[in-house]
Amino acid sequence: MSADNALLTLLTEKLRNNVLVLPTLPEIAVRVRQAADDPDINLHAMAEVIALDPALAARMLKVANSAFLGRSIKVNTLNQAVTRIGLFQVKNIATAMALEQLFVSQHPQVLEQMAELWRDTIEITCISMACLKFYQQKHKHTSLNMDTMTLAALVYQIGALPILTEAEKYPAVFAEPAYLRHAIRDLSPKIGVVILESWSFADIFVRVVQDWAGLAVTDEPCYTDFVRLAAITRQQYPLRSNESQLLDSYLQQGLIPKLDFMQEPQVQQHYQDAKTMFM
C-alpha cells in the first residue's frame, strides 16, 4: 500500500472508530469562553482571566492597538483593551489569538508543516476580514461581525492538525507533499467538524468548516463566503473550475467590488491593517 493510501486509510479508520487523537482547546481559551458565558461577568473580571496567560494578554493588547480597529490612541492596560474590543467580542478574539498554541510539534518535519499551515491560515483570515470589512461599510445593517469572522477563518482547516500528527508515522508522506495535501483535502473538513463539536463551538463555525470547499451560495452572505473568497485568492479553493462562477455571484451580491478585488485599494488597506493583529 502506498504511503498516501496508508495514511488515508489510517485516518479514516480512526475517525470512524472515534479513536483519532484530537487537539484540545488551549486552557486559557476555555477559561475565557467560560467567563464570557457568565451573565455576571464584567470588564475587569474578564481582564483578570486573560491576564492569567501573559502571552494572550500581550496579543490582546496588540489587537486592541491594531490598525484594523482604527484607533490612534494606544491602550496600555488589559482593562482598556477589553473595553476597546468589547466584552461580547472578546470571547471569540481571545480564542482566536490562543489558537496559535496548537500549531506546535516536537517532530521537525511536522513542525515545519504546521508553521506553514498557520501562515496560510493567517493569510486566509486577513483576506476574509478585509472583504467583510469592505462589505460592512457598504451594508451597514449586516448581522455578520468581525470577531466571529476572525475565529471562523482561523479554524477553517483545523482538521489538518491531527492529519499532520498522524503523518509522523509515514516519513514518505513528507517526501511527497502531494500526499499530505490529498489527505488534508479529503479529510480535513470531517475531522474539523469533530474537533469543533468536541470544543462545543457554535454551529456557525461548524458550517464554515463543512462548506467552504463547496459551491453552495445562500441568498444572504455568510462567513463561509468570505473564507471561500480568501481561499480562491490564495489558490487553495479545491474546485478551481468553478471559481469564475462563484466570483461572478459574489460580485452581484456586493461581497467584492470587482473580480480582482484584492487590487481594490480599500480592500488592500483593510488586508494590511488586519495583518497588524498577527504580526
Confidence of residue 181 (pLDDT cuts 50, 70, 90): confident
pTM reported for the whole predicted model: 0.93
Residue among 123, 125, 119, 115 at smallest CA distance from 95: 125
142/133 Cα distance (integer angstroms): 11
Residue range 196-207, pLDDT digits in tens: 999 999 999 999
DSSP 8-state code for residue 77: S
Contact 270, 134 (CB under 8 A): yes
Which numeric CATH code is attached to 3-275?
Answer: 1.10.3210.10
What nine digits make up the cell of 248? 461572478
52/79 Cα distance (integer angstroms): 14
- The CA distances from residue 61 to 80, 125, 271, in Å, are 9, 19, 19
Chain-centroid distance, C-alpha 209: 9
Residue range 44-69, pLDDT digits in tens: 999 999 999 999 999 999 999 988 88
What nine digits make up the cell of 275? 495583518
Position 53, amino acid: D
Position 30, amino acid: V
